[in-house]
Amino acid sequence: MIEFIFAGENLPFAVSIILMLLMALFEAVGLLLGAGLSQVMDSLLPDLDLELNMDLDADAPGFQAPSIFHALLGWLRIGQIPAFALLVAFLTIYGLTGYGFQLVISKFFGAMLPAVIAGIVVFFLSLPLIRICGGALAKVIPKDETYAVSEDTFIGRAAIITLGKAVVGRPASARLQDHYGTTHYMMVEPDQEDEEFVQGDQVLLVSRRGSLFKAIRNTKEVLLDEEINK
């Protein structure tokens, strides 16, 4: 069995499973440090709204049909569930499907397919399974999680530095809670050159550039979210 798992023909699938396990480990360690890999990954992605609405009126003014690329992303549930969860699902499904595929091939033909060919075939075989898994995840993951809230709404809200020292050009991790009570993590740096923040400092987010937020020191406790210190 070990020889089968780590056979050269199964290299793409072994790598996929190993990556999935490493991501789970990094997520657990990150949560202990104050910022999980899932929050970091979602904060680095642009806001996406890729869920396809089949009721759109093609004759309406300004209507623009989605591109094949965006249609595929929407079909795969990207934008509907956290990117981290979807990536873990993909790695798991791809790896396990690949092993099952090679096992069947070896039983019928006496040998496995080369890694490159098997990897490509299994990729396309995995897509419908990923969509099904994504649909199941979308039903059980709360709708008010980080991925469903625009980061633009964070401007003007208070946050607290959770890890590292933030200076201009070297951001630190911070957290805040939205009006749903959901905790969000982001990277924050001071808005002023001569300012710095350390762990435990309360800050006020004043602007956003991509996934990076600029902040000033929060001198008015009334601005601090009620649950920020939980």
pLDDT of residue 84: 77
pLDDT of residue 142: 54
pLDDT of residue 119: 93
pLDDT of residue 219: 77
| Phi-psi sector, 174: left (phi>0), alpha (psi -120 to 50), beta | beta
Shared-domain flag, residues 62 and 158: no
Give 10-residue mean pLDDT values along the chain (230 residues). Answer: 86 93 79 57 47 40 46 62 80 94 92 93 91 79 52 83 87 81 81 89 88 84 48
Answer whether residue 106 is part of any domain: yes
DSSP string, 29-50: HHHHHT--HHHHHHHHSPP---
Shared-domain flag, residues 139 and 36: yes
**Pick from 114, 146, 178: which residue ends a domain?**
146
d(CA 105, CA 22): 29
User: What is the total count of domains within the chain?
Assistant: 2
Query: What residue ranges in the chain does DSSP mark as E strands?
Result: 158-163, 172-177, 183-190, 202-209, 212-217
Residue 65: strand, helix, or coil: coil
Answer whether residue 170 is part of any domain: yes
Shared-domain flag, residues 21 and 120: yes
Shared-domain flag, residues 186 and 159: yes
pLDDT of residue 122: 94
Shared-domain flag, residues 16 and 130: yes
Which residue range(s) make up the domain with 191? Answer: 151-223
Residue 101: strand, helix, or coil: helix
**Pick from 130, 146, 162: which residue ends a domain?**
146
CATH number at residue 157: 2.40.50.140
pLDDT of residue 52: 40
**Pick from 127, 146, 165: which residue ends a domain?**
146
